[in-house]
Amino acid sequence: MSKLFKTNQGMTLVEIMVVIGVLMIILAFGMTVNFNSFTSSTLQAEEAKIVSALERARSHAMANMFESEYGVCYISPNYVIFRESEGTCNNSEPTNELIPANTNLSTLSNFSTNFDDSHAIIFNQLSGNRNTVDDTIIITDGIKSEPIEINDTGRINW
């Protein structure tokens, strides 16, 4: 009877190696999932930031603030909300609102390679409409992309 319930005093090297291997697989999977959720959160936060800037510019235009059209463009490292009556999009105009951008992400437009001062999204005063056809801004981290669509009536879909 005593031989059946005999206990070992320790673990063998093979058992220890198996336990360490299983732990490494679990940790590697956990780190991958955690990293993907971080990049996804960063992309969604940047998308929300751009949509907020677009909605703010459209709201200013519809409220006819300073009797002007308003627009949004990107000049590294900021998104710029600007008054069309003050001229074009630039970082130096004191009336412009600067919103810091995440420089680790790329922001593209469907009409140009960059969403920049040469391709601003401009909203008409009072109506909030746009003079151009539908536009899409794409935010990408190189792997995943998120589109923001702005139609000619100024509606922002994201």
pLDDT digits (tens, 9 = 90+) for 128-140: 998 777 788 888 8
pLDDT of residue 28: 82
Q: What is the pTM of this model?
A: 0.71
Distance of CA 38 to the CA centre of its chain: 12
pLDDT of residue 111: 45
5 assigned to some structural domain: no
106 assigned to some structural domain: yes
Higher-scoring residue by pLDDT: 147, 104 = 147
2 assigned to some structural domain: no
Q: How many Cβ atoms sit within 10 Å of the Cβ of residue 133?
A: 9
3 assigned to some structural domain: no
pLDDT tens for 5-62 read: 566 677 788 989 999 999 999 888 777 666 666 667 888 899 999 999 999 999 999 9
What CA–CA distance (Å, rounded) separates 62 from 55? 10
pLDDT tens for 54-88 read: 999 999 999 999 999 999 988 888 899 999 876 67
pLDDT of residue 87: 66
Q: 93: domain range?
A: 14-157
131 assigned to some structural domain: yes
Check which CATH number belongs to the domain holding 110 and give it.
3.55.40.10
Secondary structure (H, E, C), 6-56: CCCCCCCHHHHHHHHHHHHHHHHHHHHHHHHHHHHHHHHHHHHHHHHHHHH
7 assigned to some structural domain: no
Structural domains of the chain, count: 1
